Amino acid sequence: MNTLRHHYPEYAIEAAGLGIFMISASVVTAALELPTSPIRQAIADPLLRRFLIGVAMGLTAIAIIYSPWGKRSGAHINPAVTLTFWRLKKIQTWDACFYIAAQCMGGLTGLWLASILLGGAIADPSVNYIVTIPGREGELAAFLAELAISFGLMTVVLNVSNHMRISQFTGICVGILVATYITFEAPISGMSMNPARTLASALPAQIWQAIWLYFIAPPLGMLLAAEVYLRQGRKKRQSELCCKLCPNSETPCISPVCCQQGCGKILKLFCFLISGESL
């Protein structure tokens, strides 16, 4: 198949990206939540621990997005993101299917590797395979929270990535939102925003509580954000939409109609520090 032959590097990157994210989430959560961890014993405040987890995961997301790999595939690492760009006609159907399949496999592989690294600690109730389940407020609150944070993230992505002067900051905005959501929203729904991320935790943990809402709310929220964006007087500017979280002209673009925006001079040093490559 031509699609697979031409774009398999992007699919592999998507798998690796979510795999890395899951490993990072598992290790950071174990370090900050496992009762035997010295860090957990030193930090009693759960809000502060969530803040530190959020910062770590926000930085992980930023590193993936601005890495050479992330700049090539677009660093979706989330089926909801891919579905939204497919709806906006910035990624073809077969590419979207392979992206989503790769993301699911990458998430599962990442958690499997994390379980090898952490051993029995990953099954400890304080870590519990980093599953996402509704909090005390219940399933409806979790659904609405997932819908809201997914809508908010995609709204920011679309509005920032499609302005040449600030498109370079898209990945940083994503990282800040991830950190903020984990800090404040996680007690409501576990802060997923990502069906593949939830599946990767649910399968080894065999915890399927309210799994439906994590498959429905994030894609719905992001698709709603896309519809709002298109109806805000921007229909004539649809060609500007880019399916990368770090729009750039340095790498091939999987989009059939790529805007070829640059990643911007302001972040040259930042990207160099993360990727080790000069721009």
Per-residue pLDDT of the chain (279 residues; tens, 9 = 90+): 666 667 788 999 999 999 999 999 999 999 999 999 999 999 999 999 999 999 999 999 999 999 999 998 889 999 999 999 999 988 999 999 999 999 999 999 999 999 999 999 999 999 999 999 999 999 999 999 999 999 999 999 999 988 888 888 999 999 999 999 999 999 999 999 999 999 999 999 999 999 999 999 999 999 999 999 988 865 545 445 678 888 777 766 776 666 554 554 444 444 545 445 544
The CATH number given to whatever domain includes residue 168 is 1.20.1080.10
Tell me the longest C-alpha to C-alpha distance in the chain: 57
165: its two tokens: 């002067």
Range of the domain at 263: 2-275
Phi, psi at residue 75, to the nearest 5°?
A: 55, 45
As for how many domains the chain has, the answer is 1
pTM of the predicted model as reported, rounded to 2 decimal places:
0.88
Question: What's the chain's Rg over C-alpha atoms?
Answer: 18
